[in-house]
Structure 1
Amino acid sequence: MRAWRLTTRGEPLELVDLRDPAPGPGEVVLRTMAAGLCLTDVHIATGSLPFGALPVVLGHEVAGVITEIGPEVTEFQAGDRVAVRTGPDGPGVAYDGGFGTVVRTQADRLITIPDGVTYEQAAVATDAGLTSYHALHDKGNIQPGMKVGIISIGGLGSFGVQIAAAAGAEVTAVVRKKALATTALELGAATVVQSIDDVRDLDLIVDFVGSSETVRGSVLGVRHSGRVVVVGGQDESASIPIAVMLMNNVEIVGSNAGTNDELRQVLAMIADRSLKPLLTRIGFGEIPDSLDRLSKGGVAGRLVADMSAG
């Protein structure tokens, strides 16, 4: 297998040739067909999120076709199209992931890709879609008619706007770049502002940036007894207006990843076209430069690598 591997944090990924893995009990091996690029990949590579041991093949948004099944695997077979549920204990974080042409993973992380959903769409659903859905529905308890703020329309936020709108919420998108305002409206936002300071009296704000500025602004931007769900981790810490949080009874919760059932729901929404991933496709050889591009900001939606020719 060919792979882009992280050997030293802060150094460029290395293109390596590795032996194809073999599946153990409860595991499968799949041919990687698509892999999404996420800011978490950037943070792991730079060391700002020092997760897992090195060396590791990054890429935690993975979709492909099963080539081998190990002992005790009964629900899947070779040839199945599958998406791999992401998480801190999953591929690309805890062990080699989707920036390699072959991935070994546990079968209980797999969800069958529905007809009509492409590998690229399925790959980004495993994190950008799943994490957004979990943040809004499980942690945010979103309800029809709620006034919901979504900070950023990057990989996760572009899903977040659509998922919130599909749930019947009135969505305010916080988008720094004026040029992306039209995109936010097309995704389903009713209102677009450039700063979190322009937001007031919302029922729920989901912060897909996680900077000190956005967390503080979110606490100030929700109504009495409102909720702030923090998903992004741009800054190591944030300054929170404690008096406002206490007097307004504001709830702040963290959120990441999600469940198999939630991933099935996201894939079903893509299949019925109620959710349309905003994608920019790249080639296998473009992964390192594209991570650098992602680190500079301003990418709407998700970058996703076509791994079929890797």
Structure 2
Amino acid sequence: MNTITIHQTELPVVEFRGNRVVTLAMIDQVHERPEGTAKRNFNEHRARLIDGEDFHLITAGQKDEFRSFAIDLPNRGLIVLTEQGYLMLVKSLTDDLAWTVQRQLVNSYFRPQPFAVPQTRAEAMRLAADLEEQNEVLLLENKQQADTIASLESLFMTGETPTQFCKRLNGVNCSQVNSSLLRLGWIYNAANDENSKPRYRVASRVRDRFLTERPRKISAEGVESFIKYDLILLLDGACRLHQLYMKGDLTMKSKWDGRHTLAKYDGGDAQ
């Protein structure tokens, strides 16, 4: 298997000395954390981690022991974490997503289960029934996902900002949409002065996947002109935002009525 899907995120299979490992970038990706989060945590706790047990620094001389289907080995080397190191590094993550991802990574990625060949006719029939049931569940989930995407395709307005889209999601606190995107690692603040007005840019891991940017020049008398980047939501980003909305991962209004509904685009000004 070249890749494996963990919580709707496709990850490459990475092995070192015959054992599966994960890179710091993979951890950020599957846990939906801002780029560089796992690296920062690793550097902060590196003294507590054991080289050779919790992590490995793979260099060019160890290339023959390194196997990856989608990741090149950088000249400077690559930090990879074992199952034990991964669990130690992310034990501070306690949100629902983290629990789900950790369970799936351990059971499906680090400890792939070998296929048990049926030894009797009865075992073969039970296996066939189990596979059929799993296939029916998968088909139902795929149909539900396809129906949601089809619905969003008919309602989605090209060129919308995330805030404009969320204004049509019943109950979302639209003044906190960018704060949610910052937390999710979709955007970052490019302003040099922390006291100045934020200048949001799209993070590289979601650029042209969930979000894109539209630059425009801002000029005012007595103020040096600058380029402002408008955040533009893409269809996959709208689908993902809707998923987060249904899971309760977006900040909601205090007087929200508890109903999850999506209104059609009315053509009005949603700035």
TM-score (norm 2): 0.27
Larger CA Rg, structure 1 vs 2: 2
Higher helix share: 2
Higher strand share: 1
| Greater relative contact order (Cα < 8 A, sep 6+) | 1
TM-score (norm 1): 0.24
